[in-house]
Amino acid sequence: MKSTALFFRIAEKALLESEDKFQKISHSAQDAIIMMDDNGKISFWNPASERTFGYSSEEVLGKDLHTIITTQKCQEPFIKGFKKFKETGTGPVIGKTLELTAVRKNGKEFPVELSISAINIGGNWNSIGIIRDITERKQSEEKIVHMAYHDHLTGLPSRLLLLDRLNQVLALGKRHHLYAGVLFLDLCCFKHINDTLGHSAGDELLKGVADRLKSALRVTDTIARLGGDEFVIILQDIKQIKDIIRVIEKLFHVLSEPILVKGYELLITASIGISVFPDDGEDAETFLKNSDIAMYRTKNGGAGNKYQLYTPAMDENSLEKLKSENMLR
């Protein structure tokens, strides 16, 4: 009997020590640690949970976990999955790390990383969830993606995003037999302005030009900056060539007004080369190259608001030659 009593005292002491360790660890943890009993009610809520979700433990203990922190659209799948978990201790989220959206007390949704484990207590399945607020991480990821796909100066799409959108437009055009136009636009005399007024003035001018060009386009059109003073515009769902010409005239019009930079009123003109889908190529790179060739043909014809359509008669291998001829002027 004495040995049995001693065993229970030792077991009880070990259990109390174990609980004490769990309390200390969970209270010092930076991540939210939440325990849910076999009825889906919150049975443990550490201080980090209070900081993460805005509820005190008194407010949530004994409450349904799914209605407290999950979004409306996630509640039904979670409740259905919990029925299986209650019976077997298994489920599609058990033992996995997931990224999903949670809800704070103030109703604000935010991204979290969630890991859930199952634990059997007295023959009933309970779950322990470790939840981390990943708002800052997501913002950093979004910033990195934005930097990869957008020009740092103007905020316009970069070449990478331009090609992606152009491929989408071409695929849509092939499927529905639609026309599209690719305009390659280069500013005249930008180098002279950059050299005389400085790079900061040149940057300010480019931002002003980007805003002007955007104002002349539809929401469905795409404008990108490839670098320097080169811009590319994708016009989708074009019915006929004269629709492209109307857009170009509108672009020339918005550029005709002086742009104020560092106290100077600067007048800007542009050269534009045009390639048209489906006549001038099969893929995005080809359309971009052909509009570039047409632009340099225009540019080498002299400064001013001018445009030219690409034609097969233009030598596809002459782009570098056209560029070098332009640099000699």
Cα separation, 249 vs 305, in Å, equals: 9
Contact 295/272 with Cβ under 8 angstroms? yes
In DSSP notation, 239-285 reads -SHHHHHHHHHHHHHHHHS-EEETTEEE---EEEEEEEETTT-SSHH
**What is the distance between the terminal CA atoms of the chain, rounded to a whole angstrom?**
107
Say how far apart CA 78 and CA 85 lie, in whole Å.
10
Q: What is the full DSSP assignment across 60-94?
A: HTTSBHHHHHB-HHHHHHHHHHHHHHHHHS--TTB
Q: Catalytic residue positions? A: 229
Burial of 136 (0-12, 13-18, 19+ CB in 10 A): exposed
Residue 278: asked if its preceding bond is cis (omega within 30°), the reply is yes
The shares of helix, strand and coil residues in the chain, as percent rounded to the nearest 5, are 50, 25, 25
Give yes or no for a contact between 273 and 307, defined as CB atoms under 8 angstroms apart: yes
* Distance in angstroms (rounded) separating the CA atoms of residues 303 and 306: 8
- Rounded to 10°, the helix 199-215/241-256 angle is 130
Residue environment code for 80-96, b if the CB has 16+ CB neighbours within 10 A, otherwise e: ebbeebbeebebebbee
